[in-house]
Amino acid sequence: MHCLCDKTLKLTYADGEGHCGYQCQSCGAIWLPRKFVQSIKHTYHFSYTDFIANRTPVEREVSQLCPDDGHTLTDYTLFEVNFSECACCGGMWFEKGELHNLLQNYQRRSSNISALDKLDFLNLLNF
C-alpha cells in the first residue's frame, strides 16, 4: 500500500499514535484496515458499532481514494476529528495526529502493568 500524499511512498506498520496501523514516514498519515479499527476495543473502551453510528459524513470537493482497493473514500467527523473511510473495505484514513486525537476520547483499558507497578518502576529509575 502507498500513501495518498505520494503514490511512491510505502506505508509501513507502526503504532505511533496509540494504536497500530500503516503509517507514512513522510506525512505521518495512518491507514487502519477495518480489522485494526475493530481491534481498538482491546486497548480502549471503544465500541466499533457506536463509532460507526455516531460519526457524521462531511462533504468534500475532492475525494481521496482507498490505498488498498482504489474506491472513493467518504469523509467523516467525530469529536472534531476528521478521517475518511472506504465504503468497500471499511478501512480508515487518518491524517497525522487525527488518530491520536480520536483515541483521546476513549478511556484506555488498564494494562498488565498497574499504576502502582509503574510508580515502583519510576522509583527504580530515581525519578
Which residues contact Zn ion by CB under 5 A? Answer: 3, 5, 24, 26-27, 29, 66, 68-69, 86, 88-89, 91
Cβ proximity to Zn ion, 10 vs 118, nearer residue = 10
Q: Closest separation between CB of residue 21 and Zn ion, Å?
A: 13
Q: Closest separation between CB of residue 9 and Zn ion, Å?
A: 5
Cβ proximity to Zn ion, 9 vs 78, nearer residue = 9
Residues contacting 4, CB < 8 A, separation 6+: 29, 64, 65, 67, 93
Cβ proximity to Zn ion, 63 vs 111, nearer residue = 63
Cα-flanking dihedrals φ and ψ of residue 29, to 5°?
A: -65, 150
Cβ proximity to Zn ion, 44 vs 68, nearer residue = 68
Task: Pick left, alpha or beta for residue 118 (phi over 0 → left; psi -120 to 50 → alpha; otherwise beta).
Answer: alpha
Spatial contact of 21 and 14, defined as CB atoms under 8 Å apart: yes
Q: Closest separation between CB of residue 103 and Zn ion, Å?
A: 20
Q: Closest separation between CB of residue 106 and Zn ion, Å?
A: 24
- For cell 506498520, the residue is 13
- Neighbour tally for 48: CB within 10 Å: 14
